[in-house]
A and B are shown apart, each in its own frame.
Chain A
């Protein structure tokens, strides 16, 4: 697991009081489909990513393709940091 995935997984676990069952999600699982995050949860996730990784998430980047799984976030953060 890459470090960004571990950090995000820890953030979700701590911040949203996920119970043991909710924490059993795969890196590729959709947060939306598993109902792990609602729209407010995604906004908190965006704020976390900006602060943790020193990136600026543009409005047009708040889309499922960038944010709806640990895999998607890892790719998005990697892309943003190398830009």
Chain B
């Protein structure tokens, strides 16, 4: 499909179809070109979370350079889910690449990441502390409201709490948990320095476009090989490269908070397959009515999705921006 033909198609996942083999080769050829020529490095480091994006990037890197020039990092911490780490190990073995596994809990503890986060959460939910599990949930815009964040927590005795977060608490929780992404990136560059390798960033198109990353954390990298691909397409490439089925069937999570948290709960208004279609539809200037029909939602909801996409893009401008300088 070519973009100028897009307007003639009805809005289904078919609009995201691509020639997987050709795209894999195109990305691999690009990496083989830019890593030695533009970046002047001789291999790549990729941190693997056990999610589909980093798995796909690691596999693409192996396609580009072979396993001997790809170094994998597994960087779990206290709140990482055990299945995610296991999937990362499975992929390292599948790809046959050298790797290191470093648990970041002690370092994050020393930085006060857990302490500061829990202190802010305890202000929102008195009594919050050791043994509780929690996550942040985004709500509002699809119901015609204004986006706001809620703290959902389970106490050790199993009681559920759900409160609206004030700005100060929200910012302090996010600042504390952002230590995780920034420390991971510090480790990636540490190994890149040791090996004279480049660092791969693993955002997909949804994350890159909508600003779902931490500035100078997972947003930092030397090359981002799948930032042009919708999440649906990342899954398609992963399957085409023969990645383990366990990886290709995982539900995307943030793997940042101690309660299981879908990416659609934290940042995107919709599950990824629908979000892909919404972003594609917006990119291809489809009407809200077209999107509504494609997603089986009302036109008002579809318009709210477009408004949300545009609002997040404005926020993402800061995240993408490099330091300003005077001329």
Contacts and interface: CB of A to CB of B under 8 A. Distances in A.
A62 B307 CA distance: 16
Contacts of A68: 146
Contact of B166 (A42, A43, A62): A43
Given A59-B164, A62-B140, A43 B148 contact: yes
Interface in A7-42: 32, 35, 38-40, 42
Contact of A39 (B146, B164, B171): B146
A54 interface: no
A41 to B, nearest CB: 9
Interface residues on A, range: 10 to 19
Given A62-B140, A62-B145, A63-B146, A38 B167 contact: no
A62 B311 contact: no
A44 B314 contact: no
B144 interface: yes
A63 B148 CA distance: 10
A62 B149 CA distance: 12
A47 interface: yes
Interface in B228-265: none
Interface residues of B, number: 18
Nearest to B166: A47
A67 interface: yes
Contacts of B146: 39, 42, 62-64, 67-68
Chain B contact residues, majority secondary structure: mixed
A63 B144 contact: yes
Given A43-B170, A47-B167, A38 B311 contact: yes
A38 B164 CA distance: 17
B274 to A, nearest CB: 20
A19 B208 CA distance: 29
Nearest to B315: A38
Contacts of A59: 148, 164
A39 B314 contact: no
A44 B140 CA distance: 15
Interface in A29-83: 32, 35, 38-40, 42-44, 46-47, 59-60, 62-64, 67-68
Q: Quick one: which of A35, A38, A39, A40 has the most chain B CB within 10 A?
A: A39
Interface of B: 140-141, 144-149, 164-167, 170-171, 307, 311, 314-315
Interface of A: 32, 35, 38-40, 42-44, 46-47, 59-60, 62-64, 67-68
The 8 closest A-B pairs by CB, nearest first: A39-B147, A63-B145, A42-B146, A43-B167, A44-B167, A62-B146, A62-B145, A43-B148
25 contacts: A35-B314, A38-B311, A38-B314, A38-B315, A39-B141, A39-B146, A39-B147, A39-B311, A40-B170, A42-B146, A42-B147, A42-B148, A43-B165, A43-B166, A43-B170, A59-B164, A62-B140, A62-B145, A62-B148, A63-B144, A63-B146, A64-B144, A64-B145, A64-B146, A67-B146
